Amino acid sequence: MIEYDEAQKKMVLKLVYYGPAMSGKTTNLLKLHDLITQEGRGELMVLDTTDDRTIFFDLLPFFLVAPSGLKIKVKVYTVPGQVRHDATRKAVLQRADGVVFVADSQLSEAANNFESFDNLEKNLAFVGIDIEKVPLVIQFNKRDLTNIVSEEEIARVWEPTGIQVTGASALEGWGVVETFTRLLELTYAAIDRKYRLLDEHGLGSESFVRKMTSVEATQGIAGFV
């Protein structure tokens, strides 16, 4: 669902962080916003909803310009996780080009994760996006806590699906950039298949991801998988 203006040689991508309430979607975006160099991102914008927030920012204040002159901008959003904000989630998912599903690693949150992922599947279908085709990464957040689902159990459940999975502690700041990097790699591959970014625009995957994930030199990147 890429927003592409061939005449203006302009492309706008929309990436969405989805998941149950309190799983760490907002913390992911706040930390990502902090980790990316100030020259490399726009200001945070906040839309307050009851008991929750939708946050978004332009990853790049200006366009990434490919050698062909194609201009690319990336916008990153969260959705409110509360059940009653389903209409907002559908609106934010419209024209999404990639999704990170932020699951809460705590054993007590397994049912909420399942319910929210089921909601994601239904809402993607509602807005006309095929979950089998949209770039999707699942992040198991809060890996710094105790009483969490094991990596072995995560692998047992999710490896057969082929969906990429990362681990993170958004609160501590690790795994955040890695998760975003995985999503960018998948998103690039999807765009390249349709718009031939490398062959017709001279923009390779490594260059695309590097320019989108330039981080402060003092910040680390870590995570499992």
The whole-angstrom separation of Cα 95 and Cα 62 is 21
What domains are defined for the chain? Answer: 3-213 (3.40.50.300)
Give residues with Cβ within 8 angstroms of 145, minimum separation 6: 105, 106
Lowest mean pLDDT among 23-37, 104-118, 137-151: 23-37
pLDDT, tens digit, for every residue of 141-190? 999 999 999 999 999 999 999 999 999 999 999 999 999 999 999 999 99
Q: Element (H or E) spanning 29, and its range?
A: helix 25-35
Q: Residue 147 class from Cβ within 10 Å (0-12 exposed, 13-18 middle, 19+ buried)?
A: exposed
Looking at the predicted structure, is the pLDDT value of residue 198 above 80?
A: yes
What pLDDT, on the 0 to 100 scale, is given for residue 175? 96
Considering the entire predicted model, what is its pTM? 0.87
Structure-token pair, residue 140 = 């198991």
> How many CB atoms are located within 10 Å of the residue 202 CB?
13
Mean pLDDT score, 35-41: 66
**Alpha-carbon torsion angle 40, 222, 140, 45, nearest 10:** -20
Number of H helices, E strands in the chain: 7, 9
Q: For position 49, what pLDDT does the model report?
A: 59
Mean pLDDT of all residues belonging to the chain: 86
CA distance 216 to 134: 29
- Rounded to an integer, the average pLDDT of 81-105 is 90
119-141 pLDDT per residue, tens? 999 999 999 999 999 999 999 99
Mean pLDDT for 52-74 is 73
- Residue 173 — φ and ψ, nearest 5°? 95, 0
> What whole-number distance in Å separates Cα of residue 125 and Cα of residue 103?
20
Pairing between β-strand 71-78 and β-strand 98-104 as defined by DSSP bridges: unpaired
Percent of the chain with pLDDT over 90: 61
Flag whether pLDDT at 203 surpasses 80.
yes
One DSSP character per residue, 66-85 reads: -TTS-EEEEEEEE---SGGG
User: Is the model's pLDDT at 219 over the cut of 50?
Assistant: no
